[in-house]
Structure formats: C-alpha cells, structure tokens
Structure 1
Amino acid sequence: MKNHQTTNGALVNTLTEVEKAAFYRKTYAHLASAVLLFILIETLFFQIPPLLNFALSLTQGYSWLIMLGGFLFITNYAERLALKSDKNSTHYWGLLLYVVAEAFIFIPLIFIAITMTESGSLDILNQAAIMTLSLFTGLSAIVLLTQKDFSFLKSILAVGFAIALGLIVAGILFGFNLGLLFSAAMVILASGSILYQTSNLVHKYKSNQYVAASLGLFASLMLLFWYILNLHTND
C-alpha cells in the first residue's frame, strides 16, 4: 500500500482501485454539493427583486455581450484558482465563484422557463433537469466503466466552442436568433465535453485535485442543462 505522501498528488490512474474509488467519491460528492449550492443561490437570487431585474436587463443587445464576456472571464479565473494552486482553500474559492457566476447567468433563462407556464410552475425546469441528469449519468458511466481515454476530443471541443462563441457574438451584434438547431448542436457539444471531463477524471487529474475535477464536471453539466432547457423554452 502506498503511503499518503506518495499518493497525495499522484496521477489518479496510478492509484490502487480503492484509492481511485475514494477520489471518485470525493469528486462526485463535490459535484453534488455544487449543484445543490447552485439551486440554493438561484432561489436566493429570485428572492431579491433588484438583482433579478438587473440580471433581466442585461439580456438585451450589447448588455448581454458584456454579461457573457464577464462570465467567460470569471470562468477562466475560477478554473485557474482550482487548477493552478496546491491549496484546497483556493480550489474551493474557485468552485464557489463559478457556482455563483452560473447562478447569475442562468437567471434570465430560468425566469423564461417559469413564466412560460400559466401557473408559474417548475414543470419545464424539472423536465430539463431530469433529461440533463439522465444524459450526464449515462455519458459518465460510459467513461468510468470502459476507462476509455477521450482526450482526443480536446481539439474538437476547442474548435466547436470557438465557432459557437463566434455565432453567439454574431447573433447578439446582428440581432438574429440562432434557433433550435444551434441549441441541439450545443447539446451534442456539451455531451462531448462531459465525456472529455470524465475522461480527465480518470486519466489526467491528480489525487488532490478532486475539487478541480468537480468544477470541470459541473461546468459541462450546466452547459448541457442550459441548452436542454433552451430547447424546452423554444419548443
């Protein structure tokens, strides 16, 4: 059995099966905590009318472009906090910052989903959440059971996200709707991201990077949820 000094910071794929299982449990426990925290923060945001109105006011024209740019900046900063530092406290700050940013940028889409129903129920949200979790679970299981390395998706995802970002910016600048086809394509891209992030969990991360691993999975999960929910609200 390897001692703590040897295993702490070692690549996950070099650990014993027991140590790998412990790493996976920590990662998915943090992922579940991030999802619950997202729900709590989102609920809190909807109880603060000035914040709610401010977020909704940013959905028009160049304001949404600024909001998107701010979100991308925070995402990059949070990922650096989670990946570059050796301190667990810094990793947690990165995850917390990213969860808050996700909760804020989701306000307009969730508002639309709620107001689409006459009673203001959460039916659309619940349906999208179930579909998202089902797809996420299935894709994660494929990687964890087969142990296949999906690192080859990195360049494909990079190109795909670059094209998607360009289309989003163009849509904002020139005022055209990207439509259901774009959302469907983004669901596929998000699914690829889940495969890639789960593959990193198995092959790339170190044993002390479970918070960073959970952030990567959370980002992919929320991207998938965004576009599945977008498909529901535009159906």
Structure 2
Amino acid sequence: MSYANEFEMEQSSPFAIDAVREDRAAFLRRTYAHLAGAIAVFAGLLYIFVNTPAIHDPLLNMMVGGQWLIVLGLFIGVSWLAEWWATRSTSLTTQYAGLMLYTVAQAVIFVPLISYVVLLLEQPEILAQAGFLTLVVFGGLTAFVMFTGADFSFLRGFLFLASMLALGAIVIAVLFGGITLGFWFSVAMVGLSAGYILYDTSNVLHHYRTDQHVGAALALFASVALMFWYMIRVVIALQGDD
C-alpha cells in the first residue's frame, strides 16, 4: 500500500533504520501519534456522518447498487492522490492535506457498513468488538516487527496481486448481485490486511525517512482501516447477522 521504498536516496533525512536512536524514536513517536490522531478524526467523522440524516441519507443513496463501483473507483483515485501528497510532497501542509483527505475518504466509504451495524442491526457493540480485535492484532504485528527489525518489503508483489484478485472479486460480486462474498472471504481479507500491516510497519522502520511521519501514518492507517472493515464483517457473520 506504500511506495516509500521508491524514494530517491539523495533526500537529506536518513531512513529511520539508519538514523541515530533518538531521531528514530522521535520519528516513530510522531508516526504513531499521527496514526492515533487520524483514527480519532475518522471515528468522529463517522459518528457525524451516520447520525446526521442530511449527510447520511445522500451518502447511503449514492452507495447502493451499481453506484457502489463508482464510489469505489473514486475512493481508489482519492486514496492515490492523498498518498502522493502525504509521501511525495516536501510541503508539510500538503502532507497533512493528504492525510486529512484520506481520513475523510475512509469515513465516507465506511458509512454503509457502520449504518448497517448501528441503525439496522442496532448492535453497536459489534464495532467495539471488531475494534478491540483489530487493535490486538495490529499491536501484536507491530511489536513483532519492532522487536525483530524484520523487513517485509518482499511481500509487496504478493500483496499487490492478492489485492487485485480481491478487487476483482468485489467488482464481480457487485455487477452480478447473486454472488455473495461471505465469511471466508472476510477472513481472507483480514489475513491480507495483516500482511499489509507487517509490510507497512517494516517500511516505517526501513524505508521511510525520519521526516516522512505523515506519509508513514497514512500507510498504517490504510492497513488498520482495511482490517477494521473486514473484522466487522467477520464479527457480524459469527453472530449470525450476515
């Protein structure tokens, strides 16, 4: 999900792995603080979107049927632009604009799923359960990478291919309404998101410069959001509500 390892070596700041311990620790603190901030803003926006009919109803109407593919395409385009701003720009303002744009886009794309859980199923505890599971898995994978110092950049090709196959399955399922992507697809996507967390966390350590904390936070947030989405679907299925 990140292209940080393609950055040019002539940049002034060192990669985190090559920086002195104090600078590396400061970079990691900034990165994870920005990740926490993005998650907090995401949660706040979702609460507003789902509980404000003037926002919720048009968004939900826009994301039904075949229009979901349009929304998905826009989301992919916005995500690419946001990542470009956050990781490639030398302007800190543009980097923050990229992170904020991506956070808003994630909140919008989550509206149908959160609305289904909160308004239709009336089981908001599902979100707490999925959030807790996501936090536990994310924390465990992060600790593994940080303690071992492993570089999982070799996963890039596999993750890209798996993502394209998953995207193809989603498009086919939307175009042909009789096809349902059920429990095991969601489990597989949780596994894919775990792979992305390993990949992005190791990139934070090995392939981001110490002045790229905003872009690093965006990459991690993307992986966490992907896991949270499918963790919700797994919890719903296990409770027999899907």
TM-score, structure 1 normalization: 0.93
Residue 195 (structure 1) shift: 0.2
Distance 1:116 1:225 in 2: 19
Q: Secondary structure at the match of 1:206?
A: coil
Q: Does structure 1 residue 76 correspond to structure 2 residue 83? A: no
Q: Does structure 1 residue 219 correspond to structure 2 residue 227? A: no
Distance 2:235 2:118 in 1: 11
The residue aligned with 1:65 is 69
Aligned match for 1:191, one of 189, 194, 207: 194
Once the two structures are superposed, the pairs formed by residues 38-187 of structure 1 within 5 Å of their partners are: 38-117=42-121, 120-175=122-177, 176-187=179-190
Distance 1:47 1:174 in 2: 31
Asked whether the 8 Å contact 2:50–2:114 carries over to 1, the reply is: no
Residue 13 (structure 1) shift: 1.2
Distance 2:57 2:236 in 1: 20
Asked whether the 8 Å contact 1:13–1:203 carries over to 2, the reply is: yes
The residue aligned with 1:210 is 213
Deviations 1:179-226 (A, max 9, x none): 111111000000000000000000000010000000000000000000
Distance 1:190 1:58 in 2: 27
Amino acid at match of 1:189: L
Q: Does structure 1 residue 21 correspond to structure 2 residue 36? A: no
Distance 1:200 1:139 in 2: 13
Deviations 1:15-73 (A, max 9, x none): 11111111100000000000101111111112321221122223322111111111101
Asked whether the 8 Å contact 1:8–1:207 carries over to 2, the reply is: no
Distance 2:75 2:58 in 1: 15
Distance 1:89 1:13 in 2: 25
Amino acid at match of 1:67: V
Name stretches of at least 5 consecutive residues in structure 2 with no aligned partner: 1-10
Mean alpha-carbon deviation: is it higher for 40-49 or for 65-74? 40-49
Asked whether the 8 Å contact 2:14–2:210 carries over to 1, the reply is: yes
Residue 121 (structure 1) shift: 4.7
Structure 1 vs Structure 2: percent identity of aligned residues?
Answer: 42
Change in Cα spacing, 1:47 to 1:231, as seen in structure 2 (3 Å) is same
Distance 1:54 1:105 in 2: 13
Aligned residues: 228
Amino acid at match of 1:16: V
